[in-house]
Chain A
Amino acid sequence: MAASETSNGTALRYAFGNVLSFFILLLIGVLAFSIRLFSVIKYESVIHEFDPYFNYRVTQYLTKNGIYDFWNWFDDRTWYPLGRVIGGTVYPGLTLTAGTLYWILNSLNIPLSVETVCVFTAPIFSAFASWATYLLTKEVKGAGAGLTAAVLLAMVPSYISRSVAGSYDNEAVAIFALIFTFFLYIKTLNTGSLFYATLNAIAYFYMVCSWGGYTFIINLIPMHVLLCIVTGRYSSRLYIAYAPLVVLGTLLASLVPVVGFNAVLTSEHFGSFLVFIIIHVVALVYYIKGILSPKMFKVAVTLVVSIGLVVCCAVIAVLVALVASSPTKGWSGRSLSLLDPTYASKYIPIIASVSEHQPPTWPSYFMDINVLAFLVPAGIIACFSPLSDASSFVVLYIVTSVYFSGVMVRLMLVFAPAACIMSGIALSASFDVFTRSIKFQLPGVKGNSQVDAGETSSEGVVAQNEVAKTDKNEEALKERPSKKNRKKEKEHVEKPSVKAQMKKRLLVLPFEASIIAILLLILLGAFYVVHSVWAAAEAYSAPSIVLTSYSHDGLHVFDDFREAYSWLSHNTEVDDKVASWWDYGYQTTAMANRTVIVDNNTWNNTHIATVGTAMSSPEKAAWEIFDSLDVKYVLVVFGGLVGYPSDDINKFLWMVRIGGGVFPHIKEPDYLRDGQYRIDSQATPTMLNCLMYKLSYYRFVETDGKAFDRVRRTEIGKKHFKLTHFEEVFTTHHWMVRIYKLKPQKNRIRGKAKKSRSKASSTTSTKRSETQRKNPWH
């Protein structure tokens, strides 16, 4: 009777725990969503930065023209005169996701604009990501660790930085896809079910659609499989978890146009194929081992090993030859710079120039994962006691990602979920120990009254749950060949659990010290919350398209970018070409709807170098380059008046470097005085005569009479000069964006010009004649 009562009690407790977890998860989702709304509250519902504008434009096109047009879209508004095939060169996951959201909402008669949907896609998916983290960590170390990890992920600053409302970029959905793929992999590994294996392949497909970082998955999972094989953990579940993923996953991945045959042709994927072969060999060995007697098996092994070695050598030789035949050894530059960290800085300036590709220093870790940095080692150790397939996977995940994050600061984003999972495990394990210590040594509770304790004190409930959880966990760690056996096992486990609890009672720490430890841990958690909220509110919410600054006389808003783009869209012809440095390409096409020469998709180095060369050439040469590209307007960003540091003058050395990489007559030393970059009176004549200097500082002396540059903190070198080939047409309120028009070519010989004019007028298009009518002086 008593036994049935207790089992009833545990069932009730499980039910209660599940409902509680559900509500906690719901709250975590709300937390993850709402902590990312600071940007909307502080600024407005606006798309951020650069790349999101491109994604926004693509989404607009998708919702307007449908999926087939999107798939075949050739964009002639960018990379003039080359254009760009959008459908085949973007990762469509984000766009399709937002497009689907928009479509669902509209079919439910919720008329949100495309922009609103785009702005809120990232917060929604971060809620999903924290739920996925819960699932993943639950598979590894139980529900308690899962909930802790989910809470931590909901507000980890590193992830917030890429997923605040308005940050409409691939990473926003990709992190969810990444964690979810890992969860399904672990789930398959724990259950050995083909259903989850198939889901895993589909989740992987979604990840491939969303982000180039999918190569991390397709290398990490094979590494884990290999690790399991090498350490003698091969099982049929491992086979089911891996083989379908490679076959289905690769097939699905090659359906994505931007990946296509890369899924089988580039070195990033070769590792998975190699492991695919190895796991088959190992599976065969295990199979043969099962059907042969030990002696026969030995003979077979020697036979197979000798033949296998020969075959392996042949295959490896072919692979090496294949890889060696391509110039970069089949690796893309970004991946190579991960393996050899000094690679990019030596050979690819365009990758090295991006600030998110720099190696981080220790404060970046503190900024981006905060106190989690302290907890991760404890999590690693908790994963090793005991080591299971699932926990070895998370350990591998954290080790690889922490190394990569050390090479490139942008990969901190991949590291952050791993840090959350590990810290969740660590926190949950320590709370487990400390609450247990308190519970069993409470002054009022003596003897074998463990059930009473569970119902009287609130800490007791937690501890009971934790104990139940660890029981469940122990069960999960056992081999589970089939569902039937599992049920039986569960019944078995029920009985010894009382014994296990008795045993656990002995593993306690001193009462007072445990209380202090718990208080300190809570303090640590509180600090994390404060830091994360601060980071979300202050550090990561600026949309960078609208800038604000606080000074003694209140808040200043700098909305110059949108001012300039709307000027362009209202005052220039639809087909006019606008040249600027590549950073502003996406924004110009999205907001001004004008054709640009280069944009943030840096696929053509030569084209970018051409613009860089023009910016670093003297006026006449620059005019010729721009004229040959049909450019009508040149846009420069200038921060010298208001002290906006990321303006074109500060980026200028990269223009010189990238330009000089293709056109050797541009030499970096010509722009440097004794190795120093300066724009004051000590600057080199080449610097003072280049187009970027002139366009940035033209008429600058009229502002304060001294021409004092607030970013460089110096007076400029050449103050009074005239432009010969360009004319200023628009400068925004705070001078942050300046737009110049190329002057028309001067007539050289009167007679010839007349002739060509008359010839031209006979063949002019209607548009040309319109412009002539508008301007009678031409």
Chain B
Amino acid sequence: MSPTHSLPLLLLISLLLISTSTSSSDSDRVSELQSLQSRSKSGIIHLDDHSVSRYLTSTKTPRPYYLLIFFDATQLHDKSELQLKTLHSEFSLLAQSFLTNNPNPSPSDPNLFFCDIEFKESQQSFALFGVNALPHIRLVAPHHSPKQSEQMDQGDFSRLAESMADFVQAKTKLNVGPIHRPPFLSTKQLAFIVLATLIWIPFAIKKIVKGETLLHDPKLWLSGSVFIYFFSVSGAMHNIIRKMPMFLADRNDPNKLIFFYQGSGMQLGAEGFAIGFLYTIVGLLLAFVTHLLVKVRNLNVQRFVMIVTLFVSFWAVKKVVYLDNWKTGYGIHGFWPSSWK
């Protein structure tokens, strides 16, 4: 349990103890939720089994508020493919943006509260909603019971907070407004960077004039350009844009991993790097032979190294041709005169 969660929880429990003694009308519940919301730093109310029953199941519909619930599980945070952490932070971003965009909601509109539930401490609620897979976000409308509530589709959080906002806007008819993302660099950091660059510029100019920077080292440029070449031909850009994993687990046999994906429209990370390596190594070996090996005096060393090089290059080309034919399914063939057959 992270400390950010435990504090609101304590508050919640204490608040619950106080509030149970008083009458629990709808307006009380709203004000309780509002105060809980204002105490939470992220704008998300942390629910548990008690509070779920208090704000959802024990109330009569229609409730005067919507609840958007994020189902969380701390033990799954380290599973990167679920992206629970990113989604949770996006969810809190959505909550904060909603609060800043609607500081004084009009009384006629129903309220919207952003909540999260942790699996370990509120397993009953998970069962109540019938949640058995994460990530899972649900919107409980005023007239809905937990089971009837609407689930946010995979597609609705694919574009993170923006698409969640679209979902909320579509279902609640409430205006979320633009998402306020924290700037990449805070103003202080920015000022520091600008200052540092200003101080650094004169020194840099001096060095450039003298001609003794790293930039004057051709070896650096050489390795840089070969690296960019390797990076591009391995299709790494595709992996970044499409967020492809390095490998997949085999569906039929979970212990086996798939490194190569059949079908030319897609590739896996490790696959791309492997082929990019094969693409690059042949050229590097060729350059090695023609530029460095010629300077070696010992004939036998030359002979041995060349044989190895030729063998490796031949193998690499053959492997790529084979893998390409396998992946794309093209049958590349020559066009020979028909009399030759």
Contacts and interface: CB of A to CB of B under 8 A. Distances in A.
Interface of A: 230-232, 301, 305, 309, 341-342, 345-346, 359-367, 371, 373-382, 384-385, 387, 395, 398-399, 402-403, 405-407, 426, 429-430, 432-434, 437, 507-510, 512-514, 516-517, 520, 524, 527, 530-531, 533-534, 537, 539, 667-669, 672, 674-675
B39 interface: no
Given A366-B320, A509-B294, A403 B232 contact: yes
Given A361-B272, A377-B226, A341 B266 contact: no
A395 B271 contact: no
Contacts of B208: 230, 232
Contacts of A363: 264, 267, 324, 327-328
Given A362-B267, A371-B317, A406 B287 contact: no
Nearest to B230: A377
B264 A361 contact: yes
A645 to B, nearest CB: 13
Tell me which of B209, B235, B283 has the highest count of chain A C-beta atoms within 10 A of its own C-beta: B283
B264 A534 contact: no
B231 A309 contact: no
Contacts of B275: 362
Interface stretch (B51-59, B141-149, B329-337): B329-337
A517 B302 CA distance: 13
B158 to A, nearest CB: 9
Given A381-B291, A534-B334, 5 more contacts: A231-B215, A232-B208, A342-B240, A367-B328, A377-B283
Given A301-B209, A380-B229, A399-B229, A361 B238 contact: yes
Contact of B306 (A359, A367, A509, A669): A509
B283 A346 contact: no
29 contacts: A232-B211, A305-B202, A309-B201, A346-B159, A361-B238, A361-B266, A362-B275, A362-B279, A363-B328, A374-B282, A375-B283, A376-B283, A377-B229, A378-B282, A378-B287, A379-B283, A380-B283, A381-B284, A381-B291, A402-B233, A406-B233, A406-B238, A432-B290, A433-B294, A509-B294, A530-B332, A530-B334, A534-B334, A539-B330
- CB-based closest 8 A-B pairs: A377-B283, A406-B232, A381-B287, A406-B237, A359-B238, A374-B282, A513-B306, A378-B283
A668 B334 contact: no
Given A367-B328, A513-B306, A373 B241 contact: no
B218 A384 contact: yes
B240 A341 contact: yes
B222 interface: yes
Given A359-B241, A520-B314, A668 B155 contact: yes
A232 B210 CA distance: 9
B139 to A, nearest CB: 14
Interface in B306-341: 306-307, 310, 313-314, 316-317, 320-321, 324, 327-328, 330, 332-335
A406 B317 contact: no
A512 B209 CA distance: 50
Given A384-B221, A513-B303, A232 B216 contact: yes
Given A232-B216, A675-B153, A509 B302 contact: yes
A365 B313 CA distance: 18
A430 B233 contact: no
A377 B287 contact: yes
B228 interface: yes
B276 interface: yes
A375 B328 CA distance: 22
B19 to A, nearest CB: 38
Contact of B153 (A380, A382, A669): A669
A70 B109 CA distance: 59
Given A377-B226, A508-B294, A517-B310, A341 B334 contact: no
A509 B287 CA distance: 13
Nearest to B280: A377
A228 B106 CA distance: 64
